[in-house]
Structure 1
Amino acid sequence: MSLDNLGLDYVDLYLIHCPIGMVETENVVEFEPHDHKGLWASMEKQVDQGRAKTIGVSNFNIKQIDNLLKFARIKPACNQIELHVFLQQPELVKFCQSHDIVVVAYSPIANPGYNKFLKRLGIEERKDLMNILTNPVISEIAKKHGKSNAQIALRFLVQKNIVVIPKSVSPARLKENFDLFSFSLDDAEIAKMEGLDVGEPARIVDWLIFPKIDEHPDYPFGK
């Protein structure tokens, strides 16, 4: 159905978006356990039948990926996770890369527009969000290279062999986000950026807009 809607014969990459099953009935979202083994077997069928070139996961933690690897016939090509300078998740990155699973960073600029999203949903804005675009450590490095804070934040991840997928609707910023390969950060700059990691408190996309989701046995964060 998705391929018909997209007008495609296949997709290059097909992901399990999250490890928690969601069912929406009468505008109410309910959560149920995923049968990860059965679900992954269905994902593998998409490759076997030519509908997807590769398959992967998103928002899976170490324990969940490790479990998946025990029964996967086709190993996940990637794990797409929230990753930025304030939420670096080094243990998860190391685990994935040691198993040749590509780490893909969503919100790599820490989603500066997230409060606008919450406002549209009628949800109270978060006051604890950190801002890459105004951080003085990143600004100092950016000034040295003649680049923007966003470019420094993206380059930091790229140098760690992480794929970045920043979101922008501005043509100028889209072009800027591609301009990451005319410079590099030195070891001292990398160390300064690593020092900005605060871990789980910096997580933006925690799904807590859904009541009690963190009580679900497959909730992947903070564990």
Structure 2
Amino acid sequence: MNCGIRVLRLAFKFQIRYYSRKMKHVKLSQTDDLMPTLGLGTWQAPSDVIETTVYKALDLGYRHIDTAFNYNNEEAIGNAIKKWIEDGKGTRKDLFITTKLPHVGNRASDVRKFLELQLSRLKMDYVDLYLIHVPFAFYCNPETLTPLIQHSGEYMLDMETNHITTWKKMEECRNDGLVRNLGLSNFNEAQILKIMKAAELKPQVLQVELHAYFQQMELRKFCSENNIVVTAYAPLGSPGAKEHFVNKYDYNPDTFPDLLGHKDVKEISEAHKKTPAQVLLNFLVAQKIVVIPKSTSEHRLQENMDIFDFDLTPAEMNRLKKLDKGEEGRIFNFLFWKGVESHPEYPFKNPKAVVMEGAQ
């Protein structure tokens, strides 16, 4: 009898560990690296705030940090990670760091230059994941490393963007040990497929806008069939973008979705004694989607971590799946970069202005 109880206890313990591991990490297809399913997003996080935030997040248990050249905070993030390691809190191998090749460097001749600059800012010898941030490219002001803009206000587009040659240079950087894994962000299925056909190391991760209002089912199916991990940015509907675009581009606040306040989300959260944000993150992670919510609040950082100790019922999952609005749910279409829809590699069909149209 005691032996039987012991076996049951061991089996139960193993099941918990397996479930926890399965939920908290996904395995990348060609390196077997484990990528945490919860990361800290850092878009719109200024340097003077993000350094403290990243250190705090690492102390709380975050091990996945997502940044980009365009976020202008890589140096502050590097400072935080360096201090955390020097304080004896952990090692570089404990962490999964993602950054991105910028739109002004999206050409083969610029890949290594930008990657080495980013590694220098991050104070690292390598990053765990390097993504092409967007499929289009702008001409670069060499002094400011920002896009060149015409007198009309339109961005100067580099129409000769070649994903294959850029990807090949990224593969070279990986072979030289500067990167462990390669991926894409904001690419469509046809663009991904073109790279896959020419690649030695196929894209392992695709980072795209993804939340309950915009679930990208067809693109996710394609990624699943090709062993590509999907990372969701704006997994909560990007409530922070509302303030940013209302203030910067004079948008009407009513045009922004309120996913956190949706009746179904709130009712499900009350049933589980969880917050709407925790429900929305759990909904995605349960489908093996990596999430990178951004917050600078210690309370919300902790709250966003507490998503692995409950299960949504099949009925609740279906209820949330029905919130999908398809293309009408897209928030980010990049039309705030005036003229970008004229680029031959602009990734979205029918660039209707859902939220961002008309931005300068």
Look up the match of 1:187. Answer: 314
Select which of 122, 125, 136 maps to 1:6.
122
CA deviation after TM superposition for structure 1 residue 56, in Å: 0.6
TM alignment of 1:141-156, pairs within 5 A: 141-156=268-283
Pair 1:30 & 2:146 matched: no
CA deviation after TM superposition for structure 1 residue 46, in Å: 1.1
CA deviation after TM superposition for structure 1 residue 51, in Å: 0.3
Larger Rg: 2
Look up the match of 2:106. Answer: none
Look up the match of 2:83. Answer: none
Look up the match of 1:160. Answer: 287
Measure the CA separation in 2 of the matches of 1:86 and 1:163.
Answer: 17
2:132–2:184 CA contact under 8 A, matched in 1: yes
CA deviation after TM superposition for structure 1 residue 101, in Å: 0.6
Gaps in structure 1 of 5+ consecutive residues: none
Look up the match of 1:110. Answer: 237
Comparing 12-21 with 126-135, greater Cα deviation is found at: 126-135
After TM superposition, which residue ranges in structure 1, 4 or more long, deviate above 3 angstroms? 24-27
TM alignment of 1:46-65, pairs within 5 A: 46-65=173-192
Measure the CA separation in 1 of the matches of 2:148 and 2:321.
Answer: 42
Count how many residue pairs are aligned between Structure 1 and Structure 2.
223
Change (3 A) 1:125 1:23: farther
Look up the match of 2:257. Answer: 130
1:116-154 Cα offsets, whole Å, 9 max, x none, are 111342443453221121100111110100001111111
Q: Which amino acid aligns with 2:257?
A: M
Look up the match of 1:101. Answer: 228
Gaps in structure 2 of 5+ consecutive residues: 1-116, 142-146, 150-154, 351-360
Measure the CA separation in 1 of the matches of 2:165 and 2:228.
Answer: 20
Give 3-state SS (helix, strand or coil) of 1:218's partner. Answer: coil
CA deviation after TM superposition for structure 1 residue 2, in Å: 1.7
Q: Which amino acid aligns with 1:134?
A: G
Change (3 A) 1:213 1:123: farther
Measure the CA separation in 2 of the matches of 1:24 and 1:201.
Answer: 32
Measure the CA separation in 1 of the matches of 2:333 and 2:323.
Answer: 20
Look up the match of 1:173. Answer: 300
What TM-score, normalized to structure 2?
0.60
The share of aligned pairs that are identical, in percent, is 39
More helix by share: 2
1:151–1:179 CA contact under 8 A, matched in 2: yes
CA deviation after TM superposition for structure 1 residue 27, in Å: 5.1
Root mean square deviation, CA, Å: 1.5
1:142-174 Cα offsets, whole Å, 9 max, x none, are 010000111111111011110000001111111
